[in-house]
């Protein structure tokens, strides 16, 4: 059980039901390998190969069974600068990637 927020999270897992994401935050100063290690799964979502190299689509599941979907992806080579776009619950992403997560749109 992971305690990132007031409500404990039982697991983080990959999923394939894309909710139609848009950038709501970003990860900085982190590599794709580090993201994979934290999430516990490899990039798993097929995205536009001309724009995206690494893309994770996952789900946080709380102890009460509630689920929240999130996405992390690089965009047009941003992985080369250790920067990734995010979509999903800001509190959860900040807890999971503390020190790397930044809410907002700009690089």
What is the tens place of the pLDDT at every residue in 13-46?
999 877 677 899 999 999 999 999 999 999 998 7
| pLDDT tier for residue 94 given thresholds of 50, 70 and 90 | very high
Ramachandran category for residue 82: left, alpha or beta (phi over 0 → left; psi -120 to 50 → alpha): left
Q: How far is CA 76 from the centre of its chain?
A: 17
Q: What are the Cα distances from residue 80, in Å, to 28, 85, 93? A: 11, 13, 21
How far apart (Å, rounded) are the C-alpha atoms in residues 19 and 94?
Answer: 20
pLDDT (0 to 100) of residue 32: 97
pTM for the full model?
Answer: 0.86
Sheet holding 9-14, edge to edge: 9-14, 55-62, 67-73, 83-87, 25-28, 101-103
pLDDT (0 to 100) of residue 1: 46
What is the tens place of the pLDDT at every residue in 41-57?
999 987 888 899 999 99
Partners of 103 in beta bridges:
25
Whether pLDDT at 63 is above 90: no
pLDDT (0 to 100) of residue 106: 54
């Amino acid at each position: 059980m992971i305690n990132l927020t007031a409500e404990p999270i039982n697991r983080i897992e990959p999923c394939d039901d894309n909710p139609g994401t848009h950038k709501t935050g970003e990860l900085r100063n982190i590599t794709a390998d580090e993201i994979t290690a934290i999430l516990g799964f490899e990039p798993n979502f097929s995205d536009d190969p001309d724009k995206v190299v690494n893309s994770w689509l996952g789900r946080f599941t709380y102890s009460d069974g509630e689920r929240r979907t999130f996405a992390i992806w690089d965009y047009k080579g941003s992985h080369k600068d250790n920067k990734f776009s995010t979509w999903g619950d800001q509190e959860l992403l900040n807890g999971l990637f503390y020190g790397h997560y930044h809410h907002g749109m700009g690089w």
